[in-house]
Copies of this chain bind each other. A is one copy, B any other.
């Protein structure tokens, strides 16, 4: 058994969306995207994305592999890593560095450099928009260094977990 990655929270940023909506929308969006780009949205790729969007929480590669195995797919490590790399390239999945875990993108429709809010107790993660969250990178270029990718993760304790701790 791997490390637990579960929990609940009522903090607004963690669940301010209709998840049924989110799931259907996301599938449709990703289908259209790959159709338009002439890329294959194969059963394996679809399944991996569904596993991630279903729970809408970060999953480790080996958790994804277990889920694949349960659903009759091959479950040797390169399977998951390859598909995850592919989905990340196209912005439908992000890696949470602080958890060595992967999460489906919440805003695949607009290009963005996402920031993540992570509860270190329940490990729930919210993807927040740069603008909404008040995070900003004032200068995209730092001293002629061309930034290609930014990782922003904010770790703390969500309201639910902090309330639970003081009861």
Interface residues of A (CB under 8 A from B): 11-13, 97-98, 117, 119-120, 128, 133-139, 142-159, 162
Contacts and interface: CB of A to CB of B under 8 A. Distances in A.
B117 A142 contact: yes
Contacts of A159: 144-145
A133 B142 CA distance: 7
A94 to B, nearest CB: 13
A120 B142 contact: no
B147 A150 contact: no
A149 B119 CA distance: 11
Contact of A154 (B13, B142, B157): B142
Closest 5 CB pairs of A and B: A134-B138, A134-B139, A97-B97, A151-B153, A148-B156
Contacts of A150: 152-155
Contact of A155 (B117, B120, B151): B151
Contact of A97 (B98, B117, B145): B98
Given A150-B154, A156-B148, A12 B143 contact: yes
Contact of A148 (B12, B97, B151, B157): B157
Contacts of A149: 154-156
Contacts of A156: 145-149
Given A11-B145, A135-B138, A143-B11, A151 B97 contact: yes
A101 to B, nearest CB: 12
In this complex, the member of A97, A117, A119, A139 whose beta carbon has the largest number of chain B beta carbons within 10 angstroms is A97
